[in-house]
Structure 1
Amino acid sequence: MTSRFEPMSLTRPGVSDKGNQQILEAAAEAFNRRGFAATSIDDIADALGATKGRIYHYYRSKLDIFLDVLVASMRDLLEKLQPILTDSERSPEQRLYDAAYMHATTMMTRRSFSRVAIQGLEAPVLAEAQTKRADAVNLFIGLRDRYEDGFADLVEQGRASGVFRDVDPRLATKPIFGALNWINMWYDPAQESQAGVAAIAEEFAVFIVNGLRRREPVPGP
């Protein structure tokens, strides 16, 4: 996956990462089903419908694959967020709505990747990885922090404009991501009784923006 954000590759030296997307898709499915510790290279190969040789052609270890899934998921979110942050035609509250809608949609349409990314936020997983691939762990954490900073900036802009309550922008992102990230724990595309992706994303985006609005009327210009 190419990206403007930190183009470090976790594939083997000298091997192009242009052919590894299918491996990452299969790995995300395997890690999602079994968790990092219980997943083997065989499980990833089975999900891919290929041999272990193909996996090892691109990656040296299961840990490198896991970290690449984490980094790929954060790069994807950052690339989707960037045009929202720089859209000068829309107000901060409109852009926060867009950002929340995008994140909610990604939780549902990229369910395996997003679930694995949340696994990667767990301290034991990162602590184990830190001893072997600190560079990749630090990259993932940096991308995650940059993404969260984007949401905090939108909250701050809305607060400064008087539309949002006088909140701590960094603190406000905690319930925002708590609500949005939990979607992929209960959303099941196989359940026909659930609302569709667009309806769920809209409900969450409206809920988040309205939760930050000032309770009293905003003074006019």
Structure 2
Amino acid sequence: MKEKITQQSIRLFEKKGFSETSIQDIVDSLGVTKGTFYYYFSSKEELLMDIHYRYIYDLVENQQRIIDSGQQGCKDKLAEIVHMLIDNIDEQGASAKIFFREMKNLNKEHLEKIIPLRDQFRLNIEKLIKEGIDQGELKNHLNPPIVALGILGITNWSYQWFNPSGDLSSREVSDMFVDMILNGIAAE
């Protein structure tokens, strides 16, 4: 039931927004009582934090698997991370929207659980860029923190406009991003 509550809440939060969705809306849509909701979550904000945590934790785990794969160079790992991010928006678009749009509704205590994971994701990209520079795969004048933020800005914002059932697949979109990013930062 906890997973049903979470998935239904994701749909409602995406459609109506976190603030406009009540616990009553959630339980009514599932045909359960508020007691059922409170058995799994102490508040609507705890549910939101759980959605945020699961989303960013899974991204960091997938990113770490890519980074730990020893057979690829830094450029290939960056490309794979971009593909993973766009595929994730294809597969979990509603959770991505909630993650980026509703973070403002988390209190300080909940943010302290989310922000370190979000920062770790960014820092992993920075480290990969630095390694690429050190290994001669990427231009040596790049500023890794700025390039990492640029990559995240390009990929993360796509949750706003990417339509998985549109003209381009997630792979086609991410291939364009990879080409744009790597041809702009690859060593000559």
Task: Give the TM-score taking structure 2 as reference length.
Answer: 0.90
Which position in structure 1 is the counterpart of 2:162? 187
Q: Which one is further off, 82-91 or 202-211?
A: 202-211
Query: Partners in 2 of 1:213 and 1:161 — Cα distance?
Result: 12
The alignment-based identity, stated in percent, is 25
The question of 1:212 aligning with 2:159 is answered: no
Corresponding residue SS for 2:155:
helix
Which position in structure 2 is the counterpart of 1:163? 137
Note the C-alpha offset of 1:145. Answer: 0.7
Q: Does the CA contact (< 8 Å) of 1:30 and 1:44 recur in 2? A: yes
Query: Partners in 2 of 1:51 and 1:80 — Cα distance?
Result: 36
Corresponding residue SS for 1:38:
coil
Query: Partners in 2 of 1:205 and 1:50 — Cα distance?
Result: 45
Note the C-alpha offset of 1:22. Answer: 2.5
Which position in structure 2 is the counterpart of 1:73? 55
Note the C-alpha offset of 1:207. Answer: 2.1
CA RMSD after TM alignment: 1.8
Query: Partners in 1 of 2:112 and 2:38 — Cα distance?
Result: 24
The 3 A distance-change label for structure 1 pair 47 and 202 is: farther
Corresponding residue SS for 1:189:
coil
Q: Does the CA contact (< 8 Å) of 2:18 and 2:102 recur in 1? A: no
The 3 A distance-change label for structure 1 pair 90 and 190 is: closer
* Paired AA for residue 157 in structure 1: E
Which position in structure 1 is the counterpart of 2:171? 198
Aligned length: 187
Q: Which segments of 5 or more consecutive residues in structure 2 lack a partner in the other structure?
A: none
The question of 1:59 aligning with 2:33 is answered: no
Q: Which segments of 5 or more consecutive residues in structure 1 lack a partner in the other structure?
A: 1-18
The question of 1:143 aligning with 2:117 is answered: yes
Map 1:1-221 to 2 at 5 A: 20-48=2-30, 50-122=32-104, 125-126=105-106, 129-130=107-108, 134=109, 136-165=110-139, 166-191=141-166, 194-214=167-187, 217=188
Note the C-alpha offset of 1:42. Answer: 2.3
* Paired AA for residue 160 in structure 1: D
Query: Partners in 2 of 1:195 and 1:121 — Cα distance?
Result: 29
Note the C-alpha offset of 1:43. Answer: 2.6
Query: Partners in 1 of 2:84 and 2:53 — Cα distance?
Result: 18
Q: Does the CA contact (< 8 Å) of 1:27 and 1:47 recur in 2? A: no
Query: Partners in 2 of 1:71 and 1:86 — Cα distance?
Result: 22
Deviations 1:92-149 (A, max 9, x none): 1100101111011101210011111102444xx34xx12xxx1x32110011111111
Q: Which one is further off, 28-37 or 84-93?
A: 28-37
